[in-house]
């Protein structure tokens, strides 16, 4: 490969550009009108306009992207994650027009992209699946009957897509019809497909995924697990590896299941097999993401392997650079997703211009971002600004580095979740690795960040003004300083 078009934007586009430069491969960015001066557009060797701000007219516009690829004379297209990255029709069109698609085949995407079909295949090849229903009958009467057979609590889940859209928890049979209607409406809006499946709802499970990689020569390996249980509205916000609850025996069993799943479809490229781990140690196949994951940096940190480089090499027909016995892990890595959102307004996405931007640095600190000072956060795209990754010899070190890095991170001009992330990392259950997918609901219900009122109160307290302190603290919630994991220590 001599030149690659990146059919994406933001931090993942910049991440791919970095590896391409290291490999001596030319890069072509695509950008919507609002993104023409964005970091990824400026960083690539060349950039092509693909439409206005709305994603359907730009980053989801296959015609415009393919026209840019032809005009630039590229050899391959890397889809990143999101947008068209798991679109089988796009993958097929790329290859039909003579380009290399850096990802799995469209046939594999179609199978593993459907939660219905993929679970049927997994059941056949012996990978454990959550008890439930994933049949073709989608009328209310049939689904109600199947739901009652599965039992409650029960999860309704859109067969296509992810990110928590089209997903509803049902606690009683009487609520099923209304929750089904909501799930189907969300699925139609998000994916154009209102097909759903039903699953037993696991209480306090952990969400654990395995990174897998295959080549066109029949080789398949895994690169260990990632713990992804810290989620808000089914959206991951903190990931880490290794999982705090993983044992060698459990890792071996889950890794074997992940490899079996990938072998079942002759998987080529980077993929992630996701599982739900129950409190009794049993685990069940959830889905397979046929692309690079947002959280791939933590795997890179503990293995020393550039996953984007492997994607490019495998797509170019080469064998995997390492076999399973050659892949080792060391230390612990944590990733926190930084969003432009207001935690005090139910995490509503924020827009505006970043007036000041200073990111942390240091040994074991990595930042993958797509924004800088002076950039505008628009209404058109996902509000994720960056990913902060820290590495330590053990989990405690990685947590301490994360806490300090979050304190150092400075973003002004838009509200962010930096404070929220800091509070999670400081919370005792998180520090002890004691959590499940319900962690945030249990530990941060109705979360509100400390207000200016509280900050003023603490300042007045330091000045010794008891009366003013009491007045300023009226109605404020004061965190226990001994629960805070911050960059200070008691001196003897």
CATH number at residue 193: 3.30.1490.20
Same domain, 27 and 63: yes
The whole-number pLDDT of residue 487 equals 43
- Among 176, 200, 224, the domain boundary falls at 200
- Beta strand 76-78 with 100-101 is parallel
Q: How many Cβ atoms sit within 10 Å of the Cβ of residue 383?
A: 20
Band (469; pLDDT cuts 50, 70, 90): very low
Specify the CATH number for the domain of residue 61: 3.40.50.20
- Across the range 467-471, mean pLDDT stands at 48
Same domain, 337 and 422: yes
Same domain, 40 and 97: yes
- Across the range 213-239, mean pLDDT stands at 96
137/196 Cα distance (integer angstroms):
10
- Among 151, 176, 200, the domain boundary falls at 200
Q: Within a domain: residue 11?
A: yes
210 membership: H or E segment, kind and range: strand 206-214
Q: Tokens 């947590």 label which residue? A: 399
291/302 Cα distance (integer angstroms):
20
Same domain, 241 and 361: yes
Percent of the chain residues topping a pLDDT of 70: 91
Contacts of 203 (CB under 8 A, 6+ apart): 153, 279, 438
Judge whether residue 465 has pLDDT over 90: no
CA angle 82, 88, 91 (to 5 degrees): 85
The whole-number pLDDT of residue 449 equals 82
The whole-number pLDDT of residue 472 equals 45
Q: Within a domain: residue 113?
A: no
The whole-number pLDDT of residue 486 equals 43
The whole-number pLDDT of residue 473 equals 45
- Among 177, 200, 223, the domain boundary falls at 200
- Across the range 163-184, mean pLDDT stands at 92
What pTM value is reported for the model?
0.85
Q: Within a domain: residue 406?
A: yes
Mean pLDDT, rounded, of the chain: 92
Same domain, 172 and 53: no
Please give the residue range of the domain that contains residue 59.
3-102
**How does pLDDT run across 27-73, given as a tens digit for each residue?**
999 999 999 999 999 999 999 999 999 999 999 999 999 999 999 99
Same domain, 244 and 387: yes
Same domain, 222 and 282: yes
Judge whether residue 456 has pLDDT over 80: no
430/151 Cα distance (integer angstroms):
31
Judge whether residue 460 has pLDDT over 80: no
- Token pair of 374, please? 């002076």
Q: Tokens 């073709």 label which residue? A: 136
The whole-number pLDDT of residue 233 equals 85
Q: Within a domain: residue 107?
A: no
- Across the range 105-114, mean pLDDT stands at 94
3-state secondary structure of 351: coil
First to last CA, the chain: 60
Q: Within a domain: residue 62?
A: yes
Report the range of poorest mean pLDDT among 91-105, 184-198, 418-432, 457-471: 457-471
Q: What is the length of the chain?
A: 492
Band (461; pLDDT cuts 50, 70, 90): low
- Across the range 355-376, mean pLDDT stands at 96
Same domain, 293 and 410: yes
Same domain, 172 and 234: no
318/336 Cα distance (integer angstroms):
33
Catalytic residue among 121, 291, 337, 395: 291
The count of structural domains within the chain is 4
- Across the range 463-472, mean pLDDT stands at 48
Specify the CATH number for the domain of residue 306: 3.30.470.20
Report the range of poorest mean pLDDT among 48-62, 122-136, 285-299, 310-324: 122-136
- Across the range 117-131, mean pLDDT stands at 93
Judge whether residue 485 has pLDDT over 70: no
Band (483; pLDDT cuts 50, 70, 90): very low
367/399 Cα distance (integer angstroms):
15
Q: Is 291 a catalytic residue?
A: yes
Same domain, 308 and 366: yes
Pick the residue with more confidence: 30 or 164?
Answer: 30
**How does pLDDT run across 442-453, given as a tens digit for each residue?**
999 989 887 655
Q: Within a domain: residue 16?
A: yes
Same domain, 361 and 467: no
Contact in structure between 367 and 418 (CB atoms under 8 Å): no
Q: What sections of 413-465 are H helices per DSSP?
A: 418-426, 428-431, 439-443, 452-462
101 membership: H or E segment, kind and range: strand 100-101
Contacts of 376 (CB under 8 A, 6+ apart): 34, 351, 352, 353, 354
Backbone angles phi, psi at 28, to 5 degrees: -125, 120
Distance between alpha carbon 296 and the CA centroid of its chain, in Å?
Answer: 9
Q: Within a domain: residue 112?
A: no
Q: Which residues of 401-432 are buried (b: 16+ CB within 10 A; e: fewer)?
A: bbbbbbbebebebbbbbbbbbbbbbbbeebbe
Same domain, 191 and 284: no
Q: Within a domain: residue 32?
A: yes
């Amino acid at each position: 490969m001599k030149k690659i078009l990146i059919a994406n934007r933001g931090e993942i586009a910049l991440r791919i550009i970095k590896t391409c430069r290291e490999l001596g491969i030319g890069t072509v960015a695509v950008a919507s009108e609002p993104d023409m001066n964005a970091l990824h557009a400026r960083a690539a060797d060349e950039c092509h306009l693909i439409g206005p701000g709305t994603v359907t007219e730009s980053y989801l516009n296959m015609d415009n992207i393919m026209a840019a690829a032809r005009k630039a004379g590229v050899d391959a297209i890397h889809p990143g994650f999101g947008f068209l990255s798991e679109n089988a029709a796009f993958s097929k069109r790329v290859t039909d027009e003579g380009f290399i698609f850096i990802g799995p085949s469209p046939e594999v995407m179609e199978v593993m992209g459907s939660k219905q079909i993929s679970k049927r295949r997994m059941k056949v090849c012996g990978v454990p699946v959550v008890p439930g229903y994933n049949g073709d009958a989608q009328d209310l009467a049939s689904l109600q009957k199947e739901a009652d057979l599965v039992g409650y609590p029960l999860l309704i889940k859109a067969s296509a897509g992810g990110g928590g859209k089209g997903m509803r928890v049902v606690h009683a049979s009487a609520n099923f019809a209304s929750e089904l209607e909501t799930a189907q409406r969300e699925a139609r809006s998000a994916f154009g497909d209102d097909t759903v499946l039903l699953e037993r709802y696991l209480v306090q499970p952990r969400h654990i995924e395995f990174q897998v990689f295959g080549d066109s020569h029949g080789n398949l390996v895994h690169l260990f697990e990632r713990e992804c249980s810290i989620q808000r509205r089914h959206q991951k916000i903190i990931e880490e590896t290794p999982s705090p609850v993983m044992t060698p025996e459990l890792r071996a069993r889950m890794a074997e299941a992940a490899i079996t799943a990938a072998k079942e479809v002759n998987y080529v490229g980077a993929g992630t097999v996701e599982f739900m781990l129950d409190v009794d140690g049993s685990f069940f196949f959830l889905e397979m993401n046929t692309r690079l994951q947002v959280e791939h940096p933590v795997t890179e940190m503990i293995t020393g392997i550039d996953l984007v480089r492997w994607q490019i090499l495998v797509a170019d027909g080469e064998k995997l650079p390492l076999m399973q016995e050659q892949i080792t892990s060391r230390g612990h890595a944590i990733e926190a997703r930084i969003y432009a959102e207001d935690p005090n307004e139910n995490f509503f996405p924020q827009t505006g211009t970043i007036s000041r931007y200073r990111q942390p640095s240091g040994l074991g600190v990595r930042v993958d971002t797509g924004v800088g000072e002076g950039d505008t956060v628009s209404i058109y795209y996902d509000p994720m600004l960056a990913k902060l990754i820290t590495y330590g010899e053990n989990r405690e070190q990685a947590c301490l580095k994360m806490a300090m890095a979050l304190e150092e991170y400075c973003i002004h001009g838009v509200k962010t979740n930096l404070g929220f992330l800091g509070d999670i990392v400081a919370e005792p259950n998180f520090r002890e690795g004691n959590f499940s997918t319900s962690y945030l609901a249990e530990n941060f219900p109705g979360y509100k960040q400390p207000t200016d009122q509280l900050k003023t109160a603490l300042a007045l307290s330091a000045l010794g003004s008891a009366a003013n302190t009491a007045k300023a603290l009226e109605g404020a919630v004061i965190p226990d300083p001994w629960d805070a994991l911050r960059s200070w220590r008691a001196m003897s």
